[in-house]
Amino acid sequence: MKALLLFVAWCILFVLAWPAAVLALLLFPVVWLLSLPFRLIGITLDAAFALLRAVVFLPARVLGYRS
């Protein structure tokens, strides 16, 4: 559904301002490549915080607490 909405938005942009739509189409892979390191950092930080949360809540889980 998200891809369909993105495609419809691009088609509307193409009708209204085709140079901007073509530029957006050409720059999308570059922006995606530039965002990859930030995504990897986010995944790493999420995993680190999940590990920290598991270590902090380990005594409560051992004692039988369930949320």
| Residue spans per domain, the chain | 2-62
**10 C-beta neighbours (distance < 10 Å), count:** 14
Q: In this predicted model, what pLDDT tens digit does every residue of 49-58 receive, in sequence order?
A: 999 999 999 9
Global pTM value = 0.61
Instruction: Give just the sign of the alpha carbon dihedral 14, 20, 21, 23.
Output: positive
The whole-angstrom separation of Cα 42 and Cα 4 is 27
Reported as a single tens digit per residue, the pLDDT across 3-62 is 999 999 999 999 999 999 999 999 999 999 999 999 999 999 999 999 999 999 998 888
- Burial (CB count <10 Å: 0-12, 13-18, 19+), residue 13: middle
